[in-house]
Amino acid sequence: MDFITVFDQILLLFLLVLAGYAARRLEVFDDKTTSGLCSLLVKVTLPALIISSLMVPFSSERLTACGEMLVISVVFYAISLIVAWVIPTLLGAPETDRGVYGFLLMFSNTAFMGFPIIEAIFGTDALFYAAIFNLPFNLLVFSVGIIMLHWGAAGEKKSLDPKILLNPGIVAVLIGLILFVTSVRPPLPVTGALASLGSLTTPLSMIVVGAMLARINPTEVFAGWRVYVVTGARLLLMPVVVWAALVPFVHDPYLLGVPVVMAAMPAAAFAAILAEECHTDTKLASQGVFLSTLFSVGTIPFVALLVA
């Protein structure tokens, strides 16, 4: 395992967050621009990334691997959903914050940070497994995740519109799956445009998180005890629980290692971005993303020792 590569990847994300923080503090752009960038990410660049990542050659071997990894991924997210429900309740979190805490616990930074770290630990061959593992994430984050965040938004609890589930993320997953199964490929200019748009997602998302952090008083970034408990559960409890659940039954190093390492990733950057879209607590979501990314510098190498 290349610890230097893992550390470098985490540092890269931090520098992007700091760039967004500095840009907002220096008034390079304002809150209206930040909100517009959130919409661009949710409605354009992330759907393009989802479709692009699913355009891989179809084969019976890959189909078998897909099936096994998808079953494991479903188990993973079932465990995550239980943890996301129980821990905020045990912490006695305000009802308006429970959706954000649940989102931080259930959804980790699998795509933006998980993929390069999986490659650093297991090698390039593991990336296909990581892509398949990430399929339910793309589906759930735009359904269960959005429901969670709307549940904590003022006035949304009784007026949740089912139409929120018909969104660009869900549509992108369906299109990507059709392209994978049928092996149909759009013309080269279209695939090139999708790849280019998708490549914007990681840097732009971290810049936006930094801009959202700039809204918070610096003394408040490290305030609040509950967010530290949730961060600890996100970085250490989740991978240990997933490892304990899988190790008696799964012996393939990729099928075991990829889910455990993905569970050790910090909170998904889209926690803050979707919180902005859902008009819920973006400050708490941004704080959770920042703190979990900060502490993951020390926890990811530790968790990797379980499976490397």
Task: Convert the pLDDT of each residue in 135-166 to its tens digit.
Answer: 888 778 878 888 888 775 554 444 445 555 66
CA atoms within 13 A on the CB side of 225: 2
Look at residue 27 and give its three-state secondary structure.
coil
| pLDDT greater than 90 at residue 189 | yes
- DSSP summary character for residue 164: G
Q: What local confidence, expressed as pLDDT, does residue 232 receive?
A: 95
Q: What local confidence, expressed as pLDDT, does residue 155 receive?
A: 45
Q: What local confidence, expressed as pLDDT, does residue 82 receive?
A: 92
Q: What local confidence, expressed as pLDDT, does residue 264 receive?
A: 92
Q: How far apart are CA 243 and CA 261, in angstroms?
A: 9
Residue 267: strand pairing partners = 108
Q: What local confidence, expressed as pLDDT, does residue 158 receive?
A: 44
Q: How far apart are CA 1 and CA 135, in angstroms?
A: 25
Name the average pLDDT for the chain.
82
| pLDDT greater than 80 at residue 133 | yes
Q: Which of 15-29, 160-174, 214-228 has the highest mean pLDDT?
A: 15-29
Q: What local confidence, expressed as pLDDT, does residue 226 receive?
A: 92
| pLDDT greater than 70 at residue 35 | yes
Higher per-residue confidence, 276 vs 292: 292
Higher per-residue confidence, 91 vs 156: 91
Q: How far is CA 79 from CA 8, 93, 209, 237, 243, in A?
A: 30, 20, 27, 11, 11
| The model's pTM | 0.78
- For the chain, which residues make up each domain, given as ranges? 3-307
Q: How far is CA 144 from CA 207, 241, 266, in A?
A: 25, 21, 19
Domain 3-307 architecture: Up-down Bundle (1.20)
